[in-house]
């Protein structure tokens, strides 16, 4: 089964007793689900290992210090039913070139389809028993990125300021 993965800020999403769209704040819709050209960015993964690679890919571009990130994991078919999906490697913002091919955009979004996407995310943030929220901590990301850097899989020029400092200090130390 294929999944679409997106970094989220858990504090912006309903945590318990989600009753529908009225439980999602307007700020979440406008500040968190930022669309560009009626598109919303996701990453495709086939299994838990690839989901973690997506998280590492997101960590690779961080500029500000962050101790962990949360990823929402939604079955591909569920979002495909909301709006059209297209593979968009050119939009894949990562310092790991081989992962760019996993970038997808949910396209042709309208108010209705954006709200349906928000609903799909909120159902997962409010029911953690679904195991569709994965937390990845900085130290785990650094370990994986350090190995990828050693193996020549990281474009150092594309690293975010935070990870550049973390990785290059360890790599040179």
CB 42, CB 107: distance < 8 Å: no
| Count of alpha carbons within 13 angstroms of residue 52, beta-carbon side | 12
Average pLDDT over residues 89-118: 94
Average pLDDT, the chain: 91
pLDDT band with cut points at 50, 70 and 90 for residue 170: low
For residue 129, is pLDDT > 70? Answer: no
Average pLDDT over residues 69-95: 93
pLDDT digits (tens, 9 = 90+) for 15-70: 888 899 999 999 999 889 989 999 999 999 999 999 999 999 999 999 888 999 99
Residues 4, 42: Cα–Cα separation, whole Å:
6
Give residue 131's pLDDT.
Answer: 67
Backbone angles phi, psi at 34, to 5 degrees: -75, 120
CB 64, CB 9: distance < 8 Å: no
Element (H, E) at 45: strand 40-45
Give residue 136's pLDDT.
Answer: 95
pLDDT band with cut points at 50, 70 and 90 for residue 111: very high
Percent of the chain topping pLDDT 70? 95
Average pLDDT over residues 84-89: 93
pTM of the predicted model as reported, rounded to 2 decimal places: 0.90
């Amino acid at each position: 089964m294929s999944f679409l993965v997106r970094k989220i800020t858990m504090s912006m999403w309903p945590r318990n007793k989600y009753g529908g769209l009225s439980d999602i704040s307007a700020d979440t819709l406008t500040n968190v689900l930022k669309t560009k050209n009626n598109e919303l960015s996701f990453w495709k993964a086939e299994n838990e290992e690839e989901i973690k690679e997506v998280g590492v890919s997101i960590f690779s571009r961080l500029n500000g210090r962050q101790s962990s990130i949360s990823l929402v994991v939604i079955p591909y078919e569920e979002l495909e039913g909301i709006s059209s999906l297209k593979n968009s490697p050119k939009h894949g913002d990562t310092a790991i070139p081989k992962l760019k091919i996993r970038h997808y955009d949910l396209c042709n979004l309208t108010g209705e389809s954006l709200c349906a996407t928000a609903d799909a995310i909120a159902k997962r943030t409010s029911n953690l028993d679904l195991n569709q929220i994965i937390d990845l901590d900085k130290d785990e990301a650094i370990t994986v990125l350090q190995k990828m850097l050693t193996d020549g899989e990281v474009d150092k020029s594309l690293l975010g300021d935070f990870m550049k400092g973390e990785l290059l200090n360890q790599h040179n130390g």
